[in-house]
Amino acid sequence: MKPPPRNTASMMVAVGSEAISGKVVLVTGGTGSFGTAFVEELLANHEPAAIRIYSRDELKQSEMQQRFDDDRLRFFIGDVRSVERLTMASRGVDVVVHAAALKQVPACEYNPFEAVQTNVVGAENVVSAAIANGVPHTLAISTDKAVNPVNLYGATKLCAEKIITQGNVYAGNSPSRFASVRYGNVVGSRGSVIPLFKKQAGEGVLTVTDEAMTRFWITLEHAVGFVIASIERMRGGEVFVPRIPSMRLRDLAEAVAPGATRKIVGIRPGEKVHEVLITEDESRHAVRFDDCIAIYPSFGFWNHDEYPQGEELPPGFRYSSDANDSWIEIDELRLLAGLVPTA
């Protein structure tokens, strides 16, 4: 696989996106890390007619309203567990970006009923509301944890992916179309390892789960741009996976705190040593483009002629963080993690 360009974030953000310009956009989970960055990008570069922020936290909504102070923003208090509220919020909407989820692995393990209600039933409700209102484009945000899941969070996101894909079947002849994007942990977001390492660096001891661990690297900026690009290209039923580099956990520890003592604590329950974004079985019905790999539906009745035809993947192809051919080394990690000032 040809390594993707390093400056992929800027390539992903199509300024003045036709899928967004002049359109009404609904963002579930709109006050989260992704939602906030997504809204900021849309307001700055894509001229939406309106953006509806749908979330449960009135305080975060108030803070977001003060931060952006833009009359194109609308704030809806609501939970994705409520199909009635979602249906009301999505009236007259052109694009839905579904980012709401319970995402913390330990919390989902301890509260499985709640995880299923939000991540699985919530996805069903998003599909139902979009079909009821004829929303043309709905794009859901998934995760590498949905691939061969070993924890409840991953299992719920796998279910959500399947629900989103099959939403196209439920939509029938309506204009509503559904697709997903799937990527790994967003570096620097709330709960990620970089803020933890930075905090521990001052104490001189970093807690490392496994020095052999590898992860795909995607920044919040890149994730936002990739979502916008995926809205542009979606036909319905795809799972879009960005072509992104990998990094070694031991290199990240060295980048954040050179010479610090490392305490090996072992991987947590439900955690993997390496990430997988595409399995061998999925690669049989996936194609490669310069910036991403698109997994197309495997059902024979699907009209595959509608999809762009990219490069076929070799037999047995598996997209995993340890077998990647694009890597971020220590010096670049320091720069990307904000540890070295840019010129």
Per the annotation, the verdict on 145 as an active-site residue is yes
3-state secondary structure of 66: helix
Q: Say if residues 147 and 272 touch (Cβ distance below 8 Å).
A: no
**From 145, 157, 199, 263, the catalytic residue:** 145
Q: What is the DSSP letter of 116?
A: I
HSE value, Cβ hemisphere, 13 Å, CA-based, for 286: 24
* Residue 172: partners with Cβ closer than 8 Å, 6 or more residues away: none
CA-to-CA separations, 72 to 26, 48, 218, 328, in angstroms, rounded: 12, 8, 29, 38
Rg (CA), the chain: 20
CA atoms of 125 and 122, how far apart (whole Å)? 5
CA atoms of 88 and 76, how far apart (whole Å)? 10
- Measured in whole angstroms, the distance separating CA 3 from the mean position of its chain's CA atoms is 21
In 3D space, the residue among 293, 19, 301 whose CA is nearest the CA of residue 138 turns out to be 19
Positions annotated as catalytic residues are 145
